Amino acid sequence: MTKGAYFSEEHLMLRDQVRRFVTEEVLPYGDQWEVDGVTPRSVIKKMGELGFLGIQYDPEYGGAGLDVLASAIYAEELGKSSYGGFAITALVHTDMASPHLANAGTEDQKAKYMPDIIAGNIVTAVAVTEPDAGSDVAGIKTRATQDGDYWVLNGTKMFITNGVHADLYFVAAKTDLQAKGSRGITIFIIEKGTEGFTVGRSLNKMGWRSSDTAELVFDNVRIHKDNILGEVNRGFYAIMQNFQNERTVLGAQALGECQKALEITLQYVKDRKAFGKTLWDKEAIRQRLSMRQAEVAAGQQLLYHAAWMDAQGIECVKEVSMVKAYCGELVNKVMYDCQQFHGGFGYMREAAIERMVRDARVQSIGGGATEVMLEEIAKRS
């Protein structure tokens, strides 16, 4: 990729570094991680050593001090790995969970945790979603009541990526039970091993098989007031703030997956023969794949522009919502066609495209369902 309108030399170097890492450290081992149901901690540690876990973070803690465009590049290249479970394991740590600490933590909290987060010694998770509250963050029921210098937390969280193997959790709870809607939510920092905090169960998913996803249970968990993250009763706004970053990288991951699927499929249809000619010689096939390439290229421009706006401090909720909605739907459309043109082979577990189809399905659900994103766009139209 050329420098273009949006990228610096640092951006291009990062892309090359992440691409090399994926080739050398992910592709040879990803199939086994799918069987194991988890991406090894050693891989996260290696990513920390290479500087991938602190792209936007302060150099004071070991970060690179880059912008959201750099995170988009990073996520896009992880998506191209074709192992969505590996990609989301890393992205939750770097762009969905730990940003809460980086954005709202006290100096003491950041000094305590950020260096190990960036180094890959600590893996993080964010626990907002509940059995009855997903995109509707204001509807959470987990509660925390004050008891002197402590808060006592009770409730259940669901569909938490990295939930089984994380070391540090950022947990949202209702702290003002009389407050309505989005008010009265606070985020707490909770370490694994805290009394009363358990992993209820590891969840068995359709896709993203190389990531762990869990139900978390909090039974009278006592949390010292020093472990409050940000302001009491203002957690909803902190969650909303980071949604822009989260939705940008999810869109980037989806676009990386699109590019990889098209690459695999183009090679397949140019090699595969039917009725005396290659599949590429069939007009309907090559035109459909060409249209998908055009749509992916359009998605990239939308992504990069929204990320650029964010990096410039320009209001971009509408644009980021477009990225998430468009890319989440596009990746499923691309996968449908790519699997279709693989024929029966595309339905076999040995085919990369079969795994990628399963992994892609959640992209229009997680991190803000398409319908929710469209309402965010409509509010600003």
Which residues are tagged catalytic?
246
Token pair for 224: 């010292």
- The Cα 379–Cα 203 span in angstroms is 35
Residue 247 bridge partners (DSSP)? none
Long-range contacts of 284-289 (CB under 8 A, 24+ apart): 285/341, 288/337, 288/341, 289/262, 289/265, 289/337, 289/341
Q: Which residue intervals of the chain are DSSP H helices? A: 9-21, 30-36, 41-49, 68-79, 84-91, 98-104, 107-119, 235-271, 283-311, 317-342, 352-360, 370-379
Give the number of residues written for the chain.
Answer: 381
- The Cα 52–Cα 228 span in angstroms is 27
- The Cα 111–Cα 106 span in angstroms is 8
